[in-house]
Structure 1
């Protein structure tokens, strides 16, 4: 290869950011969104049919507590180890591995002969489907021009929530026809079939630059994207204002520059994702056992409620570039706390009031988590982006272990529903406080590099 001449440098970030959104970008958005849709389905259908699974295995809802707990442990492990693997070997190989892993294990879970077998299969599955979101978002963010990045990330997150909606539709209309086993079969077959879609997606240019800034494949990828691009012979590729990649790798997020935001983001994810896991896994059961609300009826209500979640995600993505993001996210979680408190006291029979509360709750819960995800995506440079998103998510999975465990204890102790929901509202207020503190610490700026400029 020719030596690197003075000025023979090529800014890959500028090349991506200056492009118009075209077929390539839309294709990546569509495929990542489809994969996250399947991931969301596999992640969330368990809670909607939990009592039916327990009955099918000859037990009660309380017997499912280990399944829920081990699933969250698996998700923690996956969020911890898979994103750094994606920073090392690439986004696409890890996405393929995850689809193969949770798809195959979900098929096996359909033939579980008891709670122990289901607990192990679901726990190992969690390792794989927890990594789809951070790695998929990293790939999408590194492919999309900056002026459409927040919107594209929000659309992908809406599709992730759409998996939740899909499982709700199936529960409301086809639970009896499919049986609980049918959910696991679909949760296995669809991801395995979707592996073929990744053949259509190019690897992240930012990943290749960080692995080897003189890799000749980078020039070939750029020319495929734009035949008119002027790539110098023997070019040295770099990412905008990015400095030399830290030898510490993802551990650099615990250095002096990034430590405050890392601690605060981890704490936000702990409380937010803990609450999401608790309510996703136990709210249908709580309303079924305390209020007599049929699983199918609640699933139908939540189909409407998830529309609020989709709107909350899109509104969050649109507003984050236009108003103070920290005030915006904190406001979401304050309203979230009010709605959680209210749901424990509203009568499901008054459908219009109850469903309205569900819509506002999902608007704020899902939109608020989108805000946190966007903060994590934008807070770290490319060389640690996948790890930053993933490790923040891993801390969220710790919350996803602790909170459902406490939910299982509350269910076993038969605490009053209004008491359970009041306690559950407190973490949302904690998140609002943490977001406010992060905003003050960062001087209102999301990007750490912008604060240093």
Structure 2
């Protein structure tokens, strides 16, 4: 039986229609993920007002959403390592889209909060599954860049969500954001079904004799000669099918590395969740800046997030990730303090807000990209999902802090000054991550390929 190395085949490929199609469709999934998560925070005061509630009452909705995201990250994301990235992406997009559309009919804030929690279960799985599929379709030399491009879609969704608050809110109400957030994932379902192939690496690890692999290989490269009697292996060491186990992320010396990654993601996503949920409300309640005005600034600023994502992807193809990522998080802590001190009307406020978005989004993109590189394919979606799940646990706590800050009349400077401690700790953790043996092994392999 002839041995066919899937890993080598993918790495030897030129960028072509298959890789670009996977990038575009998975990038759309990332776009709507970013749109939906950040959209709610931008229109939170309007939602509360429509139900006759004060702004701090939105804490309930944010907590429900984050709990749903945490549950989904821990329970739904690993299913992609069992049933396939494409199948689970289709299921999640379909269910999430329907629940989001139903949210437009919520009669009470509690009802809306419950629906957001349910939607979050399936929303949480979209990003890790999409990144896993992209990383397993793209040659190693371009992998970080392609993952970064998909994450730029996430940042673009975040920026686009500002349009709801800036231009659609007054005319069409807060429901307009939920209509967009529900229809786009439903559009992704037929695209995933008909134009995106399942991961070769996932199928080869599950069944090295899978007859469907040959058709996908010929689609990617018609010049490949196959006899029909191949053993499709992932690397030189695989000699049998390997099924994913949830414990894989802790085996073979990965335990310490995984715990540090979880801690870094927990704190990083705590910071992101806090700013996404409460920053417009902080400026409205603590600095008397209407959400429509702040939304325009935030929409422009999130373009910095797209640039940050692409920049970190490029840098990680060139330099040591565990030294580059901490630089982003130290800078993030500094900019959080700066935007609390600089007057909103100042000419320098917008450049600093753009830099904040550049560093926040770029730092998290760096973490996500790094995870796709240091875990093997059979556990990649689980690793991404569980790291995200750890982050969502922090996201549950972040809205509570925002509600306390508003309820106790904290100043903007005190609120963001305390919040800036979090990204600084992330920088320390990622620097320590570079000292673990598994990461050293990855860096050695990367240097050998350079």
TM-score class normalised by the smaller sequence: over 0.9
* 1:224 shift after superposition: 2.6
3-state SS of paired residue (2:348): helix
Match of 1:23 in 2: 17
Question: Separation in 1 of the partners of 2:289 and 2:241?
Answer: 54
Match of 1:370 in 2: 365
* 1:247 shift after superposition: 6.3
Match of 2:168 in 1: 174
| TM-score where L is the length of structure 1 | 0.95
> 1:242 touches 1:381 (CA, 8 Å); kept in 2?
no
3-state SS of paired residue (1:9): strand
Q: Do residues 420 (structure 1) and 398 (structure 2) align?
A: no
Alpha carbons of structure 1 residues 82 and 192: separation in structure 2 relative to 1, 3 Å: same
Match among 251, 271, 285 for residue 275 of structure 1: 271
3-state SS of paired residue (1:131): helix
Alpha carbons of structure 1 residues 89 and 171: separation in structure 2 relative to 1, 3 Å: same
Structure 1 stretches of 4+ moved >4 Å: 241-248
Q: Do residues 290 (structure 1) and 268 (structure 2) align?
A: no
Q: Do residues 95 (structure 1) and 89 (structure 2) align?
A: yes
Question: Separation in 2 of the partners of 1:75 and 1:93?
Answer: 20
Match of 1:358 in 2: 353
3-state SS of paired residue (1:414): coil
Match among 183, 201, 208 for residue 203 of structure 2: 208
* 1:126 shift after superposition: 0.3
Match of 2:188 in 1: 194
* 1:373 shift after superposition: 0.5
3-state SS of paired residue (2:76): helix
Match among 60, 75, 85 for residue 79 of structure 2: 85
* 1:181 shift after superposition: 1.2
Match of 2:37 in 1: 43
Question: Separation in 2 of the partners of 1:78 and 1:387?
Answer: 11
RMSD: 1.8
* 1:89 shift after superposition: 0.6
Match of 1:379 in 2: 374
Q: Give unmatched runs, 5+ long, in structure 2.
A: none
* 1:158 shift after superposition: 0.4
* 1:248 shift after superposition: 6.6
Question: Separation in 2 of the partners of 1:245 and 1:418?
Answer: 56
Match of 1:231 in 2: 226
Match of 1:222 in 2: 217
> Alpha-carbon deviations, 1:213-256, whole Å to 9, x = none?
11111122212322221224321111125656766723121125
Question: Separation in 2 of the partners of 1:167 and 1:231?
Answer: 47
Match of 1:258 in 2: 254
Match of 1:303 in 2: 299
Question: Separation in 1 of the partners of 2:294 and 2:138?
Answer: 37
Question: Separation in 1 of the partners of 2:393 and 2:252?
Answer: 24
Task: Give runs of aligned pairs for residues 124-163 of structure 1, distance below 5 A.
Answer: 124-163=118-157
* 1:382 shift after superposition: 0.6
> 1:378 touches 1:446 (CA, 8 Å); kept in 2?
no
Tell me the matched-pair count: 446
Question: Separation in 2 of the partners of 1:167 and 1:446?
Answer: 40
